[in-house]
Structure 1
Amino acid sequence: MEITTSYLAQKIDGKLFGPDKRINGIFNFLGDARHGDAVVRHWINEKGIEIAVEKGVSCIVTQNPHENAVETAEKLDLPLIVTERIELANAFAIEWAVKRFADDALRIVVTGTNGKSTTTHMIHKILEDAGYNTYTNTDPQSEFNTLIDPIVGKQIAEFPGKIEAMVVEVSEVQGWLDNLMKDHAQIMTSAVDPEVVVLTNVSLDHIGLVNSIEEAFHEISGAVKALASNSNTHEKTFAILNKEDPLIKKMANMIGPKTNLIFYGNCDSEKGPKCKEKDENDKGCSEVEICAKGITHNGDVVVPLEKLPFKSKHFLQNTMASVGAALAVKIPSELIEESVSSYKPLKRRFSVLHENPTIIDDFAHNPDGIIATIKSAAESLTTNGHLYIVSAIRGSRGESINSANAQAIAEGLNGLKGLKNSLIVTSSLDVVDMNNTVKPHEKRVFLENLEKRGLKYEFHEKLQTAVEAVLKSAKPQDTILLIGAQGMDPVSDLLDELIHEDV
């Protein structure tokens, strides 16, 4: 699939400065670029242009040319494309890479507010265990699911061996600073052109980019819209929908005529919908459910309850979604059972780091995730156990999300029905970089919201002192829950050091 700079500019609504040249390489970062590559950068200055010329790249694509970047590019005869939406360039990079390197691969997209990474990771394991050479962009830090740089297109192009299957995690909402990249999930899902789309749930996380549940619904539902609009490239497609989430349930009305539905959820859920409510001869709808005997598909057991490695609600939701996706691409039930039963979770996904006391680490970083994680941690308490929560404030993310997270902690603790608990809050000043530093107003709004709800807490500026405090207080029968995003990321290594010192 040969392309030129003028063609690329036209496809991404960009303006080309400089000559029309053939692009001979892949889409890449400036630091890794080789001769012939097209470099995509959110911004670039004249120094970056000079580096690109030295590397012999085919062109630069940017949204923000700084200083004399345009004049320097023209002077040095380097094609420079300026677009108002850099995400269009990255979507084009993904589409180009898929068509060139994975055109006949099984392709699955996972999106939603919570559970994307675990679901993607589990589907990837099932496909690998089934013998497919499988690409995924999911990693423990969720660094590659944003798709706001050319990482996925680059990874596909450089993937070792032939890609036989791919499962791509798509961020449900994305933006730069306070600017929403509108329809991100739809644009990126369309670029991947999957046979299967998995939807986890709809809740608020990226407050400031989207400010209502309706806006979040619009962004996330874009993945289903993309599946419908791209359906002419596939004989059959599948939408895997969480029937317990009322907004995900609504997306069933957006699917195209060639898309089959697989609903997943609790078999006792009254939140429906039920496939049996449809025409009994309709083969385009089925259900993956969790019942007393395990995870079932239309009543037949796929993974027996005793074979499930974890049984928390959010893990079961992710597992049902993964089972639905695997069944959609015709993975045998016996292999699904074997793969799920041996699954090891991603780092910081309800990971048990220590026993006696039980220490659980989770990436819970938005209200729904926080409430679910507190509930699951409480269920792990032994008789007479005490639940300690250490929560990291989200740095440089604004007041709205920190206010909502504090309220979620209060709601989660209020639902514990008399269980003994203590809360420790930290700004993680000793471990975060400048992009994740807690601002004074973020700290203030977080703590004020706790106080408004009558919660007592202990505050520590440093993560290390917060962890030292909870280790000093906790008894062997207690549970310590560590929650938060970047501010809690280093906690595993920190714990290793502190526990080793105690030993």
Structure 2
Amino acid sequence: MNAPLFLESLSNLPNADYMLSLRERNPSYFLKRAQWLLQEKSEISKFLRKTKIIHITGTSGKGTVGALLQSILAHAGYTVGFYNSPHVGDVYERIRVSKPDIHKNAVSTEIIPPHAFESLAQGLKPELVKSITESPYGLPSYFDILFVLGLLYFKKIRAHWTIIEVGCGGRYDSTNIIKTSDLSLITTIGDDHAHLIGPRLTDIAYEKAGIIKPRGVVVVGPYIKGKALSLIKQEADKKKAVLYQTPMPKKGRPDENFAIASFTAKLLKINNAIIEQGIRQYTPLPGRFEIIAENPTIILDGAHNKDKMRYLIDALEPFFKRTDRKFLIFAATGTKDWRAMLSLLFPCFDKIYLTRHTVRERKVADMKAMYLYIKKCKKLSPLLYLDPEDALKDAMRNARQKDLIVATGSLYLLGSLKKFHEKTPYC
């Protein structure tokens, strides 16, 4: 069995689920579970003492900010590892490396090669078996294992910098097993995952502030304010950390991620020319406003909460102006506020396809409820497709060259659509 399938198959073993149980039990249990695996791989602890670490959380933008900083640091001459989640297509996407190419005077960004992933996963099997009988916290989760695999790979390639994106929250997230970081970064505070780490914004801010390290440095985004900002400041004061807030971007929210990355890089003493080059030449993560075709234009975006949807609509504005008909393909997981997202989206589109993602471990939103909601609010009957590929196929058949097709609502939706389009670019 290949490594990705083996790791996915571990979900059929009895185990506590962090995402489902965060509110019902002492969540430090999940941090200790990941910590146990880290202690078993003692070479990782040695690596973490050598590499410089940027730890990023936030409701929106953390993946993009991480990718921007990865590019900037690589253009400054460093080898940079970036662990991010979730993946859109293949699990290898979670483990990225950027490094300078001296011969080409450029930077290369690559995901972990499958053979390297396979080798590291095989090497981790004895510890996974041992955890069943010897760990008081049980088998590490899929996320725990992938994070440790990422650290093992970054050790192997001798990363100067390691950028780590939080999975959910921060305080009890598996990534918070790292004891120190050169910089903690909180991009935004919104109500995504409120059912797990909320319900109030201050609750969410408290969880995200948990990544601040004693006597460390923390950077917050420009739009964090009020009680959420006060709470983060309290956490920083308690840990004797230095806090900086990113200045307001000149062009407003569309430039927020670039502003955070640029401000952070300046704190790291990187000069403006390198920062500008890194931003200009960065490699976006898959599914972040990814244009996969033109004539008609097809855009995949993993926005999955109302804040991210506002950013998406802002980014789509130039496309709305220069295209004719607008087609929306939408799916959401069951825990998301799909009403808030659809209320922002459906005024912008002429035709709507409702579908679902096909990831077995994640429940999807009620398609009938979404259908009735759109029909009531927009006076339009959306088209329903159980197979997301069929939805894209129908949209492509109906769209003309100057039309626009946008698929959004869930990162889990985009992987199958991207692979389908690569196999069948013309319908």
Q: Which amino acid aligns with 1:290?
A: P
1:441-461, Cα deviation, whole Å (9 max, x unpaired): x22333343344345222222
1:276-317, Cα deviation, whole Å (9 max, x unpaired): xxxxxxxxxxx3x4326xxxxxxxxxxxxxxxxxxx945x22
Tell me which of the two structures has the higher relative contact order, counting C-alpha pairs closer than 8 angstroms and 6 or more residues apart.
Answer: 2
1:175-218, Cα deviation, whole Å (9 max, x unpaired): xxxxxxxx314x74362411211111122222542452333233
Instruction: Give the alignment of 1:297-316 within 5 angstroms.
Output: 313-314=253-254, 316=255
User: Which residue of structure 2 aligns with residue 480 of structure 1?
Assistant: 405
**Given the alignment, which residue of 204, 224, 247 partners 2:191?**
204
CA drift of 1:253 comes to 4.2
**Given the alignment, which residue of 446, 453, 476 partners 2:370?**
446
C-alpha change, 1:162 and 1:410, in structure 2 (3 Å) is same
User: Which residue of structure 1 aligns with residue 250 of structure 2?
Assistant: 291
Report which of the two has the higher share of strand: 1
Instruction: Give the alignment of 1:260-409 within 5 angstroms.
Output: 260-264=242-246, 287=247, 289-291=248-250, 313-314=253-254, 316-383=255-322, 385-394=324-333, 398=334, 400-401=335-336, 404-409=337-342
**Given the alignment, which residue of 159, 164, 179 partners 2:160?**
164
C-alpha change, 1:163 and 1:426, in structure 2 (3 Å) is same
**Given the alignment, which residue of 189, 209, 215 partners 2:176?**
189
Q: Indicate the larger mover: 332-341 or 449-458.
A: 449-458
Query: How far apart, CA to CA, are the structure 2 residues paired with 1:409 and 1:44?
Result: 37
Instruction: Give the alignment of 1:1-400 within 5 angstroms.
Output: 85-91=29-35, 93-94=37-38, 99-138=45-84, 141=87, 148-158=143-153, 159-173=155-169, 183-185=171-173, 188-189=175-176, 191-214=178-201, 215-224=203-212, 227=213, 230-231=214-215, 237-246=216-225, 249-250=229-230, 251-256=232-237, 259-264=241-246, 287=247, 289-291=248-250, 313-314=253-254, 316-383=255-322, 385-394=324-333, 398=334, 400=335
CA drift of 1:136 comes to 2.0
- Please, which runs of 5 or more residues in structure 1 have no aligned partner? 1-27, 33-40, 46-61, 65-82, 175-182, 232-236, 265-286, 293-311
CA drift of 1:134 comes to 2.2
Alpha-carbon contact 1:382-1:478 (below 8 Å) kept:
no
Alpha-carbon contact 2:326-2:404 (below 8 Å) kept:
yes
Q: Which amino acid aligns with 2:52?
A: L
SS of residue in 2 equivalent to 1:359 = strand
TM-score (norm 1): 0.62
Query: How far apart, CA to CA, are the structure 1 residues paired with 2:267 and 2:35?
Result: 25
Aligned residue pair count: 356
Query: How far apart, CA to CA, are the structure 2 residues paired with 1:455 and 1:194?
Result: 52
1:418-455, Cα deviation, whole Å (9 max, x unpaired): xx632211125xxx24324647xx22333343344345
User: Which residue of structure 1 aligns with residue 354 of structure 2?
Assistant: 425
Query: How far apart, CA to CA, are the structure 1 residues paired with 2:191 and 2:367?
Result: 20
Bigger Rg, which one: 1
User: Which residue of structure 1 aligns with residue 138 of structure 2?
Assistant: none
Query: How far apart, CA to CA, are the structure 2 residues paired with 1:421 and 1:192?
Result: 51
Alpha-carbon contact 2:53-2:162 (below 8 Å) kept:
yes
Alpha-carbon contact 1:87-1:149 (below 8 Å) kept:
no
C-alpha change, 1:216 and 1:444, in structure 2 (3 Å) is farther
TM-score (norm 2): 0.72
User: Which residue of structure 1 aligns with residue 112 of structure 2?
Assistant: none
Query: How far apart, CA to CA, are the structure 1 residues paired with 2:425 and 2:199?
Result: 43
Q: Percent identity?
A: 16
SS of residue in 2 equivalent to 1:107 = strand
SS of residue in 2 equivalent to 1:499 = coil
- Please, which runs of 5 or more residues in structure 2 have no aligned partner? 18-26, 96-140
Query: How far apart, CA to CA, are the structure 1 residues paired with 2:74 and 2:323?
Result: 43
C-alpha change, 1:391 and 1:329, in structure 2 (3 Å) is same
CA drift of 1:139 comes to 5.7
SS of residue in 1 equivalent to 2:320 = coil
